[in-house]
A = this chain, B = another copy of it.
Amino acid sequence: MQIIEVHTKSRPSTVFCGAGSAEMASEYLRGAQAFVVTDTNVSRLYSERIAQLFPGAPVCVLPAGERYKSRTSLFRILDAMLDARLHRSSVVVALGGGVIGDMAGLAAALYMRGTRIVQMPTTLLAQVDSSVGGKTAVDYRGVKNVIGAFYQPERVYCDPLFLETLPPREIRCGLGEIIKTALLDDSIGQKIRENTGRLHDLAFLHDLAADCVRFKAGIVERDETESSGLRKCLNLGHTTGHALELLCGRRSHGEYVLIGLWLESFIAEGEGVCTPAYAQEVRSFLSLVQPRIPRIPNAAEGLRYALLDKKNNGGDISFILPKARGEYAELALTPERYERYLNILAGEQA
């Protein structure tokens, strides 16, 4: 069991990674009024387990999938919380992937101006990244995460048991954020380079997840609300990733991050942020997890979605780009200039 403390200004958060975490969550919440938020996939596979872990707790089951990360789902959770007559000391348990974690986290942040929240991520992506750091949100009017809050979970329990039932697509999704983190923290990069054959071994992935959480905790502690700029580094690959996610929308967040990293390696190279050799290294690294590069109808469409991103102030588009092993750089491009790179996706496949 690895225990990682996240010391943020707003409230301390503790992450538990390892077999038996789910039981620990159950133990921790004994005596509290627990309220479980999950989705149809998790509920189908684990409903008995949920009843065992949190006996008597109401379970709010939402439809699974990124497109249900909406205002409607948010209010379904809030309605169920009201129906269950939760109070401020009740504990919301977000049992699911990133979508459930983000939405249940936001509902917990808003209900009575803040109830307790515990994250129990069931996907690799959520265990690696989204359950830690307190970012909560729903998408709205086509803009990703535009309604949300920073609200730290008091505990995060990452149990590898849930990874066993994940489809390959979900593993690839988690690998997206792992590779991103490995580009920011070269000790993780090194570990992957030394174990390229183990990238589909769940025990190894769960171990990497803990490394990623430790790295992220260090960032979040220093810049909880993304105000100093430091936390932005976690958006490596996300500018293009988010745009493609909105434009294509059939795959999962982490896959689009992989594709974003791929395209942005060309930007980093083309704009002189990194050497051609390092850009090539990034792409080889990505090829370990074989991202399936999509074609887009045309570059202008991709650009339109990139301009919707909340990180852009209307003018230039900002990127966090790979610079060297464990290093990144921030760069802004004019829409016209970015469009040229997007043409790579509109043209021949790499």
Contacts and interface: CB of A to CB of B under 8 A. Distances in A.
Contact of A110 (B9, B85, B147): B147
Nearest to A9: B9
A207 interface: no
Interface in A73-116: 75, 78-79, 82, 85, 87-89, 109-114
A148 B226 CA distance: 21
B110 A148 contact: yes
Nearest to A135: B113
B150 A114 contact: yes
A273 interface: no
A325 interface: no
B313 A149 contact: no
Contacts of A87: 310, 312-314
A145 interface: yes
A147 B10 contact: no
A82 B145 CA distance: 13
A149 B114 contact: yes
B79 A113 contact: no
Nearest to A110: B147
Interface in A303-325: 310, 312-314
A44 interface: no
Given A85-B314, A88-B310, A114-B225, A78 B147 contact: yes
Given A78-B147, A111-B147, 10 more contacts: A82-B146, A85-B314, A87-B312, A87-B313, A89-B313, A111-B146, A112-B146, A113-B145, A113-B148, A114-B149
18 contacts: A82-B140, A82-B146, A87-B310, A87-B312, A88-B310, A109-B149, A110-B147, A110-B149, A112-B145, A112-B146, A112-B148, A112-B310, A113-B136, A113-B137, A113-B149, A113-B225, A113-B226, A149-B149
Interface of A: 9-10, 71, 75, 78-79, 82, 85, 87-89, 109-114, 135-137, 140-141, 143, 145-150, 225-226, 310, 312-314
